[in-house]
Amino acid sequence: MTGPSAKRAKWVDFHCHLDLYQDHAQLIAECDRERVATLAVTTTPKAWSRNREMAAGTNHVRVALGLHPQLVGEREEELGLFEKLLPEARYVGEVGLDAGPRFYMSFEAQERVFERILRMCAEQGNKILTIHSVRAVAKVLQHLERELPADRGHVVLHWFTGSAAEARRAVDRGCYFSINSEMLKSTKHRGLVEQLPVDRLLTETDGPFVLVSGAAVRPAAVSGTVAQLAELRQVNPEDLRTQILTNLATVVSL
């Protein structure tokens, strides 16, 4: 996803949990075969090293160091391991905040962890983050604006479901947005996605959490998302595919 591999890619899946599929190794090979530049996010720091080892030598899979907000309540103590590993990681995710009813009890801890992660990323610089913001977009943006200057890190908001005003605020902050097929099923979210700047768009699957015909979506399915996005925005699908690759190249080279 850096250097020549970004140029060889045909598609982009900027947020996928490859290690949660039963055929993890085969899926990595599939990403290379189908030329899908894939960001394999992790949910805990303990998972990162094994994921990175499995993706070593691939052309199109990169691994992100994560501490998922939904797991912070039980795994906040892994922040120390996250800090130890961060100098080795260019990509960070999945991180962020989740104020949904199932996870609100841990929200104070989530904020502590997220704030520390952003500060570490700012200190080290040149990190690329994929960020979760369920029912917490305003808080996520507040932390970004306070802890991570735009010239110290590059942010992609994963499965963004905020308001139009929050989207404008995120654009002003320099954020990108990764779009999946599930988002495009909602009239409200379709309207929001339609208004996002085309030069801030990436695609994602969030597999295996998104299902198609009862089966977990796979990275190559982003081709269908590009077609849906092109139809929504009334542009040529090939032009949009090329634009998304250009956006990826911009993010990783910032």
What is the token pair recorded at 37?
């530049």
The pLDDT value recorded for residue 6 is 52
What is the pLDDT, as a whole number, of residue 1? Answer: 63
The domain segmentation of the chain, as residue ranges, is 4-253
- The CA distance from 76 to 192, in Å, is 33
The values of phi and psi at residue 167, to 5°, are: -65, -45
Burial of 48 (0-12, 13-18, 19+ CB in 10 A): buried
Question: What is the rounded distance in angstroms from the CA atom of residue 132 to the CA atom of residue 239?
Answer: 28
User: What are the start-end ranges of the E strands in 99-197?
Assistant: 127-134, 153-158, 176-179
Q: 4-253, which class in CATH?
A: alpha beta
pLDDT of 254 reads 72
Q: Is residue 16 helix, strand or coil?
A: strand
pLDDT < 50 stretches in the chain: 3-5
With helix as H, strand as E and coil as C, how does 53-92 read? Answer: HHHCCCCCEEECECCCHHHHHHHHHHHHHHHHHHHHCCEE
| CA nearest neighbour of 241 among 221, 223, 254, 217 | 223
Peptide bond into 108 cis (omega under 30): no
What are the Cα distances from residue 52, in Å, to 4, 19, 47, 58, 137?
19, 10, 9, 10, 29
pTM of the prediction? 0.96
The interaxial angle of helices 137-147 and 164-173, nearest 10 deg, is: 20
Phi, psi angle pair for 3, to nearest 5°: 60, -140
Instruction: Find the distance separating the first CA and the last CA of the chain, reported in whole Å.
Output: 13
Q: 């983050």: which residue's tokens? A: 129
Radius of gyration of the chain (CA): 17
